[in-house]
Structure 1
Amino acid sequence: MCTPTGNFCRSPIAEAVFADLVQKRGVSHEWLIDSAGISDWHAGERQDSRGASVLKHHNIKTDHIGRIMRKQDFLKFDYIFGMDNDNVWTLDSMKPKSSKAKIELLGSYDPDGDDIIEDCYYGDVSTFESVYQKCRRSCEAFLNGIYKS
């Protein structure tokens, strides 16, 4: 589960990248992958067209519709990734005591050491491409840790 503020730019990219990577590894059946926002700013909306364009350029399909984080998400998912420190702080404050989810920065897995995946909403397509690259590196490194060869 990937969570930013509005579930419109960064997290739909991370969700699609992660789904693509597990599909290519042949382990899709082992994962439940989703994303949600911590606010309802873009709930019910398709992802930002710039992000969809970047994903299409990388041959990744998505049909994402934004939604808001729910209490049951903390009980359903083992990992919940925030995109920046504010996201992680908010998720920690929302997390029920019975939660099994580990809350982390997705970018903490980035081998380039860039742990914050900046909001790309006010950027251009190149900013979305940068988010894509950070998400890809981070998701690959996370999966490499799970599936140690």
Structure 2
Amino acid sequence: MAAVASKSVLFVCLGNICRSPIAEAVFRKLVQDESVENQWRIDSAATSTYEIGNPPDYRGQACMRKHGINMNHIARQVTKDDFFTYDYILCMDESNLRDLKRKSGQIKNCKAKIELLGTYDPQKLLIIEDPYYGNEEDFETVYQQCVRCCKSFLEKCS
């Protein structure tokens, strides 16, 4: 019988095709490398409806392939259930944070700790900028930030 995940994290950005699926894939790889994947429930979602049903941005997929990380996700929007089923909801910028705090205020028994993923960055870069209108280098920057933040987050939760 499979063990039930004891911890859960939802990564959130605006469209759920760039930053949050990268963070999700990076974190998934980290917990696999640490052999603790059975302890975690991991997903990502969007604050908006713009990209629902779409795969991650092709530039993000290329960046992840370059680093040998599997990315398999279809964009979805944050649901009411997410606020009381996830332990952590980690988002990428102040706009995401405002949207999530507003939505969580309408939820009774919100158990999720909602914060910026960047609060875990050892380099103290709070905001993970949206690379959508950028280039491959911007996706690489997001990847590197996500690696630092996710490693630090995992260490703090272990």
Where on the TM-score scale, by shorter chain, does this alignment land: which range? over 0.9
Matched AA of 1:4: C
Structure 1 unaligned regions, length at least 5: none
Q: For the aligned residues, what is the CA RMSD?
A: 0.6
Identity %: 48
TM-score relative to the length of structure 2: 0.91
| 1:34 and 2:34 correspond | no
1:11 corresponds in structure 2 to 20
| 1:121 and 2:132 correspond | yes
* Alpha-carbon separation, structure 2, partners of 1:69 and 1:145: 24
Say which of 112, 117, 133 aligns to 2:144: 133
Task: Report which of the two has the higher share of strand.
Answer: 2
Say which of 68, 82, 85 aligns to 2:91: 82
Query: What is the CA deviation profile of residues 116-145 of structure 1, one whole-angstrom value per residue up to 9, with x for unaligned ones?
Result: 000000010110000000000000011111
* Alpha-carbon separation, structure 1, partners of 2:120 and 2:142: 14
Give the CA deviation at 1:75. 1.1
Give the CA deviation at 1:89. 1.1
The 3-state SS of whatever aligns with 2:41 is coil
Q: Tell me the number of residue pairs that the alignment of Structure 1 and Structure 2 aligns.
A: 147
Segments of 4+ in structure 1 off by > 3 A? none
